[in-house]
Amino acid sequence: MAGSRYARWTVEGDVETRWMCGCIQTVDGYFGFCQKHRPTLEADIRARIDELDKQS
């Protein structure tokens, strides 16, 4: 069973923004990253969340 991938690679109608590279943002505020940007963006987001957690 290949049912539950976390980053559901999107239902078309839900996409709000789609970048040339393949990254997307849905109307619900979810991001989908293309293969090229995924490692960088995931690392960046984690670093930012860590930073915000320190501040609060």
Binding stretches for Zn ion (CB under 5 A): 21, 23, 34, 37
Q: Among residues 40 and 56, whose Cβ is nearest to Zn ion?
A: 40
Contacting residues for 21 by C-beta, under 8 A, at least 6 apart: 34, 36, 37
Q: How far is the CB of 4 from Zn ion (least distance, A)?
A: 23
| Beta strands, E only, the chain | 15-18, 24-26, 31-32
Pairing of strands 24-26, 15-18: antiparallel
- Quote the least distance from Cβ 22 to Zn ion, whole Å: 5
Q: Which is nearer to Zn ion, 15 or 23 (CB)?
A: 23
Choose between 1 and 16: whose C-beta lies nearer to Zn ion.
16
